[in-house]
Chains A and B, each alone.
Chain A
């Protein structure tokens, strides 16, 4: 099992550009999540999904969009990148209740200049 994979590992964007961060998991988890981690801060939830076709906003959804067309994939779309979106992005997945442990990918470090 590869677990949770994320691409790319690093990316530099110019202000106003768009990009998609890819996330895939091979554990047949129903639940998937996107977090961002700013320096010295904890992880903040951007969006999550409880199954294919179902997504919902987390704590900091503005400037992002997601889709979940398959169980395995959960891409995060950034439209009109802004410097405030410079962060490390983590994708995670879990079986869902009553198993609350989430399994994380290695992260994507994004810089917007």
Chain B
């Protein structure tokens, strides 16, 4: 039973446009969410996070939006750059006691020059 779902295996966008990556979760106990970026042959790199007490968190070109009622979060990258081409993983945690992250399967983003 997948608790964190990334339903789009891949996404292709033009350089300079917006990339929107989506993530859904089923466990209502999750209250902290993270996005990781992974290049081939490297480990995942932490990108941005959001707590359930917020609905938006911004860091430079990256913004994460959280819709708790829909159990949905999204990562916006504006403007997209070719160097953003990577696999993006959504992860969730239960701040109430779990040290563990549950990861989605990832979305491969390709930014075309």
Contact = CB atoms under 8 A, between A and B. Distances in A.
Interface in A36-54: 40-45, 48, 50
B32 interface: yes
B59 interface: no
Interface in B10-46: 32, 34, 36, 41-46
Contacts, number: 54
Interface residues of B, number: 22
Interface in A1-42: 4, 31, 33, 35, 40-42
25 contacts: A35-B103, A42-B89, A42-B103, A42-B104, A42-B106, A43-B44, A43-B89, A44-B103, A45-B100, A48-B99, A48-B100, A90-B43, A90-B44, A92-B43, A94-B99, A97-B99, A100-B49, A100-B93, A100-B95, A101-B34, A101-B46, A102-B46, A102-B101, A104-B45, A107-B43
Interface of A: 4, 31, 33, 35, 40-45, 48, 50, 58, 90, 92, 94, 96-98, 100-107
